Structure 1
């Protein structure tokens, strides 16, 4: 099996500590400018394939209005991001015994006016999502464009996470969170690190 080395900008010790202490962590300047551009191009070139996001059994949710495209083997640039998340999963398993086995991911596009209301990615631990991640792949973002991630940490304190380009937000899937209404198109990759035996 191929050994994947995480980018040097990923301070794994800090990520593990922040997850342990607060339930969430941030990685800034995650990737090289060349990779960021290639990823943004791959996403933008397929925007016409995006569909309305849905919840269970394909029922379109009224609590969200974004559009998504699930990442498969054809999306080679995005697959590299998933390989890095798999490598991070190995570190998380060693530190927290989470038993993460796979990563599922999709591109997400929030056009102006779109949002995702308060929810948990693993409500009442009814699915096997252990860790949620959001990578912001738009190449430019300005204050006032909305689209922030509003997150409640493990001590019920609220945080506003700016969708800064080339940032990864990592958090426990059972934490309450929302995406504030965007005022400008916001692109990202949402990924879940999944396990059959969640213990958070």
Structure 2
């Protein structure tokens, strides 16, 4: 049922949000795993344009490599590959792979308004965020209207188990400053 709603919401609005998309227990286990990761400062851009830009984003990330993924990470990747198959069946987007990383925002962490598709590349098609915890305050995801990127369409409070996805090249979004730590898995359904 949620996956059917996801498809229709992507068509109508360009984005989708659901609470309890995956079980709470799964979130707690992944959250515990986060404490063992070696975080790196996140960058903006790709290739030769990749750079650290703390005035734009100040989160840390840990990329998931399918070959060395833990059992929990593999389970999440399997869920996303299954979802990718359903999106392809319904929307014919030609998605071929899913890449993702853990994201950690410390207190006062933020990511200013942006699109997820890199300049000069059309590979990222659908962005996906799965929340692992609920910050005390702040850290909301602001979704802007597909038709008017100056209009706020939603402010989504991170909650364990909730899921958001949106069209990477059409939906501007930002992460508001957090008042406590915020953990998620952020990824992209891609063409090759």
TM-score (norm 1): 0.85
| Aligned residue number for residue 148 of structure 1 | 140
- Between the aligned partners of 2:165 and 2:109, the Cα distance in structure 1 is 22
| Aligned residue number for residue 58 of structure 2 | 65
What do residues 121-160 of structure 1 show as CA deviations (whole Å, max 9, x unaligned)? Answer: 015662300000111112x444xx1111111132324221
Equivalent pairs, count: 182
Matches within 5 A, 1:25-104: 25-46=16-37, 49-55=38-44, 56-57=46-47, 58-62=50-54, 63-72=56-65, 73-104=68-99
What do residues 8-66 of structure 1 show as CA deviations (whole Å, max 9, x unaligned)? Answer: xx6111111111110011121122233222111111222xx101001224421231100
| Aligned residue number for residue 163 of structure 1 | 158
Alignment of 1:22 with 2:13, yes or no, is: yes
Alignment of 1:106 with 2:101, yes or no, is: yes
Listed as ranges, the gaps of 5+ residues in structure 1 are 1-9
Listed as ranges, the gaps of 5+ residues in structure 2 are none
Secondary structure at 2:34 match in 1? helix
- Between the aligned partners of 1:74 and 1:42, the Cα distance in structure 2 is 11
Matches within 5 A, 1:121-136: 121-123=116-118, 126-136=121-131
Secondary structure at 1:106 match in 2? strand
